[in-house]
Amino acid sequence: MKTKKYCLLLLVLMSFLASCSSTQNHNPVTGSELIGGSFSMTDHTGKKVTEKNFQGQYMLVFFGFTSCPSVCPMGLSTMGRVMHKLPKEMEKQIQPIFVTVDPSRDTGKKMKSFMKSFYPRFTGLRGTQKETEDMVFKYRGYYRKVFEDGEEEYLIDHSDIIYLMSKEGKYLGHFSSSNGVENIKNRIIKLLK
């Protein structure tokens, strides 16, 4: 009886695998359409901006918050060091962007102060709670407030992803600080050639 069950299971599995390798003409899924998109935020100077303000420039995008104890300083430091190591002509074409996931505490002034120690050309973006949620969702990011027992203050658990977007705002690739500055720099150079 067990042999029949195994044979039936094997037959079902083989049928499934055969259907996966079908020669039908399917459009490949690359993921580029799944990450990024339109947004409406306010930059750290108080100017309302959308994705259209960055067309014609590559974007390096990171989500975080200024009170972050480790992930955000590491992410922005990595981005800044990568920017400094890129060939000058390539560096000029890339706009590094820091998007706060804590708009209630991160003012434009606070963001500017936080970003300037990592790289001088960072643009900070903040929005309403709804605008922030919308942008994070479109970039397939993650964040949530974390409260300690009985505390009013909170930290934010969030993804550690640096997104590289094309001059048209399309997804090109992503990195983590843990990939290392040299590896990220080399991959950006390869993706932009």
pLDDT tens-digit map of 61-71: 999 999 999 99
| Lookup result for tokens 């922005």 | 76
Nearest in space to 62 (alpha carbons), one of 175, 149, 156, 169: 175
Q: List the Cα angle 140/143/144 in 5-degree steps.
A: 145
pLDDT of residue 26: 34
In the structure, what pLDDT confidence band is assigned to residue 143 with cuts at 50, 70 and 90?
Answer: very high
Domains of the chain: 31-192 (3.40.30.10)
User: How many percent of the chain have pLDDT more than 70?
Assistant: 83
Q: Which of 6-10, 51-55, 157-161 tops mean pLDDT? A: 51-55
pTM of the model: 0.81
Model confidence pLDDT, tens digit, residues 89-111:
999 999 999 999 999 999 999 99
The tens digit of pLDDT for each residue in 156-183 reads: 999 999 999 999 999 999 999 999 999 9
Give Cβ neighbours of residue 102 (< 8 Å, ≥ 6 apart): 65, 66, 67, 156
What is the pLDDT of the chain when averaged over all its residues?
A: 85
pLDDT of residue 153 exceeding 70, the answer is yes
Q: What number is the average pLDDT over the span 32-44?
A: 90
